[in-house]
Amino acid sequence: MIGSNNVGTTTFEWPTPNQTNPNLKPEWKFTSTKTYILNGKEMDDLKDQLEVYSLPEQTFHTNLKMEFLSKGFLIEFNAKDAIEYCKTNIVYNNLQNNLQKKNSQPILMPIKVSCHELWNNKTLEINNTINNSTTVNSTVNENNLLTSEQIEEREDNIDWCYTSLYKGTIITKNSNQQDNTENTENNKKLIIKESNTDLIDYNLLKRNDIPIVFYDELLLFEDELHDHGTSYLTIKFRVMNNQCFYLLMRNFIRVDHVCIRCVDTRYYFNLNQKDKLIREFHIKEEDWNVLEKKWGNEFLMKSSASAANEAMIVNGLKMKWKVNECIYLE
């Protein structure tokens, strides 16, 4: 079953009854909702709710929900929560503070466009022109002229290239959470722990003999970064018969002639390991000049033109941070 490309909602319950086990009851319910791009009023309302200056120019109410029926919680992926995790204090401050003991170097630094130095120097050029001009009004005071050091970037409270450290919104009966442990109904606890032993079975995912019974792709947001590149957040999701499901949420950022950055979140669940939901979180980045030597400028500019191009480039990025986690209920 393939999710629809049209606006609307698709629901799929899994696992499905079969000849071997006709009374099999579903344990998961997947709901995919696709919408139109937010209109102007909806964009303004969302900016007010998030308290941010700007949003990706194409933002959707599109979302995916994965409800674990037997455990009583669900994981939702939506643009509003994803953009919340684009805020600069999360991307460039909280991340580093949380990892300070593990890594003394900054994980991520703010990205500036390739012409930022030209912009910084532009005021100096204007000042020089004013000072050297013989026709300037005599009321011009050189004390009113700014230097590049005095020019500060506007504080928008959101990363201008929309880097999102969003992993999904985990919702229990009593609360929403990202990575915390909280009490849930029936005195159960949702536990998220780092694990180096519980890993995604990529060999199983590569098998061609297991049919894909449900597949969907969703776009949560996209922006052309003022013609300086591209930034988008996508989800690709598939269910492989009565074996497993796999989700990849990818935040791909290309700032032309500067760098390429990618934040990947993967979820994997195997029916043979019902107490474990595995999550991988990767942050990758590489300078443009390094990638250009390998693939050339033209190929990089078309990095998002196809899934093959994107995958090849992402595999060539430098790993900045990686964590593998297990999510389960006790």
Amino acid 185: pLDDT: 40
Handedness of CA 3, 8, 13, 16 (dihedral sign): negative
Q: Output the CA–CA distances (angstroms, integers) from residue 300 to 10, 164, 307, in the order listed.
A: 35, 21, 13
Which H or E run includes 190?
strand 189-194
Residues 6+ apart with CB under 8 A from 202: none
Amino acid 97: pLDDT: 67
Amino acid 190: pLDDT: 77
In one-letter notation, the amino acid at residue 286 is: E
Residues 6+ apart with CB under 8 A from 194: 323, 324, 325, 326
DSSP tag of 29: E
Amino acid 37: pLDDT: 96
Contact between residue 266 and residue 283 where contact means Cβ atoms under 8 Å apart: no
Q: Which candidate, 108, 118, 88, 66, places its Cα nearest to that of 249?
A: 66
Q: pLDDT digit string (tens) for 78-106?
A: 999 999 999 999 998 876 666 655 555 67
Q: Which candidate, 235, 254, 247, 266, places its Cα nearest to that of 305?
A: 254
User: What is the strand order of the sheet 58-59 is part of?
Assistant: 58-59, 212-223, 229-240, 244-255, 259-270, 277-287, 318-329, 189-194, 182-183
Helix, strand and coil percent figures for the chain, each rounded to 5: 25, 35, 40
**Angle (CA) 167 170 172, round 5°:** 170
Amino acid 139: pLDDT: 44
Amino acid 165: pLDDT: 96
Strands 277-287 and 318-329: antiparallel
Q: pLDDT digit string (tens) for 178-221?
A: 554 343 344 456 789 999 999 999 999 999 999 999 999 999 99
CA separation for the pair 30, 84 (Å, rounded): 24
Question: What is this structure's pTM?
Answer: 0.85
Tokens at residue 13, please? 């319950």
Residues of the chain with pLDDT under 50: 116, 118-120, 122, 134-142, 145-151, 180-187
Mutual angle of helices 307-315 and 288-295, in 10-degree steps: 120
Amino acid 40: pLDDT: 96
CA separation for the pair 89, 67 (Å, rounded): 30
Q: Output the CA–CA distances (angstroms, integers) from residue 222 to 56, 161, 252, in the order listed.
A: 6, 10, 10
Q: Output the CA–CA distances (angstroms, integers) from residue 194 to 76, 109, 179, 292, 326, in the order listed.
A: 21, 25, 11, 35, 6
